[in-house]
């Protein structure tokens, strides 16, 4: 890279350089499953979902090494936007009288400024291209800050001929600026790998405008229609629109029925509300995107059963949407808060998702604190009650305690490698509370391994507790 003197400033005749390679070299890691969530029986079969906690370039490299090259049908990424800011996640502790706590989720500032940011993006986009199937597409979500520079990187990696759309996502939000036009849209670039890419336009048809609907006044067994003149030479009604049905009775050869199509063909500007404070899908993760936005891309560019991925997963919007639409998914994020929020989101959905959590070999989740529990075992089951908790992350003088716990689960026979809970409770997106008691948890006296609790707190840390210690 260039020396400091050469570092371009935004808006000063930018000359950008990045190290180019099909898949940039990075530290090789082995991904190991550490948690396994199943709504039915645990089995060895792969789950439809996989969350990788760690750096996404290393994760993508590891996926390529384990045979995922060309296997992902659709990728959506919503990376940091080069804002120079730090983003938080807000959680309200269980007790009502406690104020919400804002915890750092991730940092969006880059060594080398814009150039450093673009190098980071170049490396990840190059790896993402290798993972994408031939018929696949990638959607890259950005805003006014870096979008136009990343577009050039995308052109280089995917080829200008594979640029398909610049989608403008418009949203209503507080309008404050009197200095310039208020910035109320994001940009989403869509690229394919070749010209035979999946695009299910029927899945994303838009509703007709009311005024248009009104024109289709008649109806028969085929649907709603307008009666039109055929445009024949010498016809008294020529190409007239909305002619009287009398013409059809008297001179059917001069008319035809124009049927209302299922919907309007989709366009590249979308008006979708942001996840506002009152929204029941709100997780507290600062840059959470609306699920309807991601569902729209998934419906158009993938089919049920396809494998889709988001390597900057944040609050788990893509995994949630994929689960709802019956797609298999891979998600990755380096923030422990993302792991906690995504895990809870997937488990508190109407039908809990089956998924695995993977981490690079040797990497542990940040340790959370000290948990105390009491248990009462009978022959085939155990009752557990949490009695106290002290988080390491709580500053002196701040309240501590059980209500900082966002999630806990019980594996009755932990094998020391993969935590396979048979029971869990969590703070869900709809503000459901964490229970502190678990009754009748089935244990199999013949199974090796000790019963364990895994608990997470609002700071994203994890604590293990051995029940029969």
Ligand X SMILES: C[S@@+](CC[C@H](N)C(=O)[O-])C[C@H]1O[C@@H](n2cnc3c(N)ncnc32)[C@H](O)[C@@H]1O
* Binds ligand X (CB under 6 A): choice among 91, 162, 301, 335: 335
For the CB of residue 55, give the shortest distance to ligand X in the complex, in Å: 5
* Binds ligand X (CB under 6 A): choice among 49, 93, 136, 314: 314
Tokens at residue 141, please? 């979500």
Burial of 198-222, coded b for 16+ CB within 10 Å and e otherwise, reads: bbeeebbeeebeeeeeeebeeeeee
* Binds ligand X (CB under 6 A): choice among 18, 36, 56, 400: 56
Pick 287 or 302: Cβ nearer ligand X: 287
User: Site map for ligand X, 220-249, x if CB under 6 A?
Assistant: ------------------------------
Pick 91 or 287: Cβ nearer ligand X: 287
By CB under 6 A, what part of segment 183-202 binds ligand X? none
410 DSSP β-pair partners: 423, 453
Residue whose C-alpha is closest to residue 310's, from 49, 27, 30: 49
Q: Which stretch binds ligand X (CB under 6 A): 27-35, 158-166, 330-338, 435-443?
A: 330-338
C-alpha–C-alpha distance, residues 41 and 116, integer Å: 46
Dihedral (Cα; 61, 64, 65, 71), 10-degree rounding: 160
* Binds ligand X (CB under 6 A): choice among 312, 329, 389, 424: 312
* Binds ligand X (CB under 6 A): choice among 186, 306, 333, 403: 333
Residue written as token pair 């009754």: 439
User: What DSSP letter does each residue of 186-251 carry, written as one string?
Assistant: EEEEEEESSS-----GGGGPBPPPHHHHHH--EEETTEEEEEEE---TT-SSTT-SS--HHHHHH-
Q: Which stretch binds ligand X (CB under 6 A): 65-73, 158-166, 209-217, 327-335?
A: 327-335
Pick 346 or 443: Cβ nearer ligand X: 346
Pick 314 or 412: Cβ nearer ligand X: 314
Residue whose C-alpha is closest to residue 208's, from 223, 222, 193: 223
Work out whether 288 is an interface residue with ligand X (CB under 6 A).
yes
| Ramachandran quadrant class, 54 (left: phi over 0; alpha: psi -120 to 50; beta: rest) | left
By CB under 6 A, what part of segment 68-97 binds ligand X? 78-80
- Structural contact between residues 48 and 353, judged by C-beta atoms closer than 8 angstroms: yes
Q: For 253, which DSSP code?
A: G
Phi first, then psi: what are they for 354, rounded to 5°? -95, 125
By CB under 6 A, what part of segment 337-366 binds ligand X? 338
Work out whether 308 is an interface residue with ligand X (CB under 6 A).
no
Pick 289 or 344: Cβ nearer ligand X: 289
Q: Which stretch binds ligand X (CB under 6 A): 96-104, 321-329, 333-341, 357-365?
A: 333-341
Distance in angstroms between the alpha carbons of the first and the last residue of the chain: 55
Pick 56 or 91: Cβ nearer ligand X: 56
Strand 218-220 with 223-229, pairing:
antiparallel
Dihedral (Cα; 142, 145, 149, 155), 10-degree rounding: 20
Work out whether 270 is an interface residue with ligand X (CB under 6 A).
no
C-alpha–C-alpha distance, residues 331 and 318, integer Å: 8
* Binds ligand X (CB under 6 A): choice among 34, 35, 36, 55: 55
For the CB of residue 250, give the shortest distance to ligand X in the complex, in Å: 60
For the CB of residue 371, give the shortest distance to ligand X in the complex, in Å: 26
Pick 309 or 438: Cβ nearer ligand X: 309
* Binds ligand X (CB under 6 A): choice among 18, 37, 51, 106: 106
- Structural contact between residues 202 and 262, judged by C-beta atoms closer than 8 angstroms: yes
Pick 338 or 394: Cβ nearer ligand X: 338
Largest CA distance in the chain: 96
* Binds ligand X (CB under 6 A): choice among 192, 334, 406, 463: 334
For the CB of residue 148, give the shortest distance to ligand X in the complex, in Å: 18
* Binds ligand X (CB under 6 A): choice among 289, 327, 328, 344: 289
Work out whether 317 is an interface residue with ligand X (CB under 6 A).
yes
Number of helices and strands (H, E) in the chain? 8, 22
Pick 302 or 335: Cβ nearer ligand X: 335
Residue whose C-alpha is closest to residue 338's, from 355, 368, 316: 316
* Binds ligand X (CB under 6 A): choice among 18, 285, 355, 465: 285
* Nearest-CB residue for ligand X: 314
Interface residues toward ligand X, by CB under 6 A = 55-56, 78-80, 105-106, 285, 287-289, 312, 314-315, 317, 332-335, 338
């Amino acid at each position: 890279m260039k020396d400091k003197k050469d570092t371009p400033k935004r808006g000063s005749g930018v000359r950008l350089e990045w190290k180019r390679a099909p898949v940039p070299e990075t530290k090789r890691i082995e991904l190991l499953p550490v948690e396994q969530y199943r709504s039915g029986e645990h089995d060895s079969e792969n789950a439809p979902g996989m969350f990788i906690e760690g750096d996404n370039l290393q994760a993508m490299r590891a996926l390529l090494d384990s045979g995922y090259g060309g296997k992902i049908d659709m990728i959506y990424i919503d990376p940091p936007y080069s804002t120079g800011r730090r983003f938080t996640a807000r959680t309200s502790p269980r007790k009502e009288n406690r104020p919400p706590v804002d915890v750092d989720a991730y940092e969006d500032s880059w060594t080398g400024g814009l150039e450093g940011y673009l190098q980071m993006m170049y490396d990840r986009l190059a790896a993402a291209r290798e993972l994408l199937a031939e018929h696949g597409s990638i959607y890259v979500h950005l805003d006014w800050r870096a979008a136009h520079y990343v577009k050039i990187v995308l052109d280089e990696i995917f080829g200008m001929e594979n640029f398909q759309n610049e989608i403008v996502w418009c949203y209503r939000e507080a309008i404050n600026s009197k200095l310039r036009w208020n910035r109320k849209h994001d940009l989403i670039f869509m690229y394919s790998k070749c010209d035979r890419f999946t695009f299910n336009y029927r899945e994303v048809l838009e509703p007709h405008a009311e005024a248009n609907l009104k024109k289709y006044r008649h109806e028969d067994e085929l649907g709603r229609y307008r009666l039109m003149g055929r445009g024949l030479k010498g016809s008294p009604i020529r190409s007239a629109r909305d002619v009287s049905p009398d013409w059809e009775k008297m001179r059917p050869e001069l008319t035809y029925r124009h049927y209302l199509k299922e919907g309007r063909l989709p366009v590249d500007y979308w008006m979708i509300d942001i996840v506002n404070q009152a929204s029941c899908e709100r997780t507290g993760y600062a840059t959470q995107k609306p699920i309807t936005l991601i569902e729209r891309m998934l419906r158009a560019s993938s089919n049920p059963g396809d494998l889709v991925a988001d390597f900057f997963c944040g609050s788990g919007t893509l995994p949630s949407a994929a689960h709802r639409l019956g797609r298999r998914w891979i998600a990755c994020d380096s923030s422990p808060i993302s792991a906690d929020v995504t895990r809870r989101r997937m488990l508190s959905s109407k039908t809990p998702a089956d998924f695995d959590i993977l981490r690079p070999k040797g990497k542990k989740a940040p340790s959370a604190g000290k948990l105390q529990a009491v248990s009462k075992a009978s022959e085939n089951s155990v009752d557990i009650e949490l009695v106290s908790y002290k988080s390491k992350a709580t500053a002196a003088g701040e309240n501590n305690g059980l209500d900082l716990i966002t999630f806990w689960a019980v594996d009755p026979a932990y094998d020391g490698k993969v935590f396979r809970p048979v029971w869990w409770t969590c703070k869900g997106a709809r503000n459901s509370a964490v229970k502190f008691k678990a009754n009748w948890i089935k244990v199999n006296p013949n199974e090796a391994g000790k019963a364990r609790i895994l608990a997470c707190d609002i700071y994203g840390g994890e604590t293990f507790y051995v029940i029969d210690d």
